[in-house]
Amino acid sequence: MFQPVSLFVGLRYAKAAKGNAFISFISFFSIAGIALGLMSLITVSSVMNGFEQSLKTAMLDLIPHVQLKQSSRSDSSAQLIKQLTSSEQVKRIQPYLTSDVILQTNKELVGVRLQGIFKGFSNPVERHIYSGSSDRLAQSKYQLMISRYLSSKLGVGVGDEVRVIMPDISSYTPLGRVPMQRLFSIAAVYDSNSEADTSLAFADGKSLARLMRRADSSTYDLSITLHDAFSLNDFYAAYPQLKSEFEVDDWQSQQGTLFAAVAMEKRIMSLLLGLIVIVAIFNILSALSMMVSEKQGEVAILQTLGFTPQMIGRVFMVQGLYNGLVGTVIGVLLGIVVANYINEILAFSGLSLLGGARLPVVFSPSGLVIMALVSVFMSFIATLYPAKKAANVLPAEVLRYE
């Protein structure tokens, strides 16, 4: 036997094969409940992290993190732009033109936001090209790049023509005032697998400027892309004069509700799956409480052999913690394995996502550690009442009729 003696006796109780079958049944399901709860929690959290990361890397790469409308050309504004260009927080600054338009074909009408791409500046959509080539945007006039989703909905492909209608800009014709419109050719189709695919299209910046009647480059807005889109508040704090020099818009005002909804959904799912772990923790409490009642005679004998009430309490705390630790370790390992092979498991089960897409999985090491520690801590809390109940057993009362 090894020291401390409470640990030895507690582990013997935890590993004992004999005893009340009902208590053993509850103990087994408390371990299984913790394991299944953690496995589900880790799997769902990892997939939700993957979706959030996909939105961040795909969608936020296609839209400007900060948009500056140049209402004036003061010297202070020009100086501020120079400061932003050399800032460590800023990844790139480039001209920006955008307009809400209607794309029309013989099959469908779709409202989208049309964004201009200028030659000589970074093209964030380049890495998402599905078919065609973005080079045609700069080589020819009135070229358009749409998403794979819009291509399917409009029933067009590379080389086809789409009519672009601008409701906010109109021209006079013999038939009266009509919205500005022009036929554009599809130069490329992109696929970012993000929400942007449903409402974002791209065109050559100069062609879009002609259509918007903004040929003067001094009237273009500025698009600022940060190294970390989620450091927006720090960026504003570093340049407090920004909002006084420009009309400022950013991704949080345009798409912030989407990311807030994803974050809220992740928290709600984690809370619901965490309830499985909580139910399993209550099973530990129930099993220990019944074991204390069943083993009162043994507890009394241990006290007569010199065990103090504190040592008796630690015996049952060790037993409960053992169940919690075993369930936590199994749950974490199963969660990592299932999350890592979730797409293969779905394929083996005959389940597949629309379009053959794969679930994105991103593990959070800190999240795994926190979930494991919370599970063990809750297991410890569940042992306090049974341990106190065991410590209060009176040997004389129990052994009176033995």
- pLDDT digit string (tens) for 2-49? 457 666 666 666 666 445 566 677 777 778 888 888 888 888 888 888
| Gap between the Cα atoms of 145 and 137, Å rounded | 8
Determine contact, residues 292/384, Cβ cutoff 8 Å: no
DSSP β-ladder status, 109-117 and 200-204: parallel
What are the DSSP calls for 33-72, one per residue?
Answer: HHHHHHHHHHHHHHHHHHHHHHIIIIIHHHS-SEEEE-S-
Shared-domain flag, residues 154 and 242 = yes
Shared-domain flag, residues 182 and 236 = yes
Shared-domain flag, residues 282 and 372 = yes
**What pLDDT was estimated at residue 333?**
93
Question: Does residue 299 lie within any of the structural domains?
Answer: yes
Q: Which runs of E-coded beta strand occur in 205-332?
A: 221-226, 247-250
Shared-domain flag, residues 45 and 121 = no
Q: What strands lie across the sheet with 247-250, from one edge to the other?
A: 90-96, 221-226, 66-69, 247-250
Shared-domain flag, residues 296 and 372 = yes
Shared-domain flag, residues 369 and 292 = yes
Residue 392: how many other CB atoms lie within 10 Å: 12
Provide the β-strand partners of residue 179. 170
Q: Which residue has the higher pLDDT, 329 or 192?
A: 329
- Dihedral of CA atoms 239, 242, 248, 253 in degrees, nearest 10, equals 30
- Answer yes or no: is pLDDT of 295 > 60: yes
The domain tally of the chain equals 2
Shared-domain flag, residues 354 and 226 = no
Tokens 């007569």 locate to 304
- Answer yes or no: is pLDDT of 104 > 90: no
Determine contact, residues 144/182, Cβ cutoff 8 Å: no
- Answer yes or no: is pLDDT of 373 > 80: yes
Q: Which residue has the higher pLDDT, 253 or 356?
A: 253
Residue 127, CB-side half-sphere exposure with 13 Å CA sphere: 8
Shared-domain flag, residues 245 and 322 = no
Shared-domain flag, residues 285 and 317 = yes
Shared-domain flag, residues 265 and 185 = no
- Structure tokens of 274? 């965490």
Pick the last residue of a domain from 194, 223, 249. Answer: 249
* Residue range 142-183, pLDDT digits in tens: 888 888 888 888 888 888 888 888 887 776 666 667 777 888
Shared-domain flag, residues 353 and 263 = yes
Range of the domain at 141: 64-249
Distances (CA, A) of 264 to 260, 271, 372: 6, 11, 22
Among 191, 258, 188, which Cα is nearest to 229's? Answer: 258
| Gap between the Cα atoms of 144 and 134, Å rounded | 9
Shared-domain flag, residues 77 and 141 = yes
Pick the last residue of a domain from 217, 249, 281. Answer: 249
Question: What's the mean pLDDT in 298-312?
Answer: 74
Question: Does residue 276 lie within any of the structural domains?
Answer: yes
Peptide bond into 95 cis (omega under 30): no
Pick the last residue of a domain from 195, 215, 249. Answer: 249
Question: Does residue 254 lie within any of the structural domains?
Answer: no
Question: Does residue 312 lie within any of the structural domains?
Answer: yes
Work out the angle at residue 246's Cα, subtended by the Cα atoms of residues 240 and 252, and round it to the nearest 5 degrees. 70
Question: Does residue 390 lie within any of the structural domains?
Answer: yes
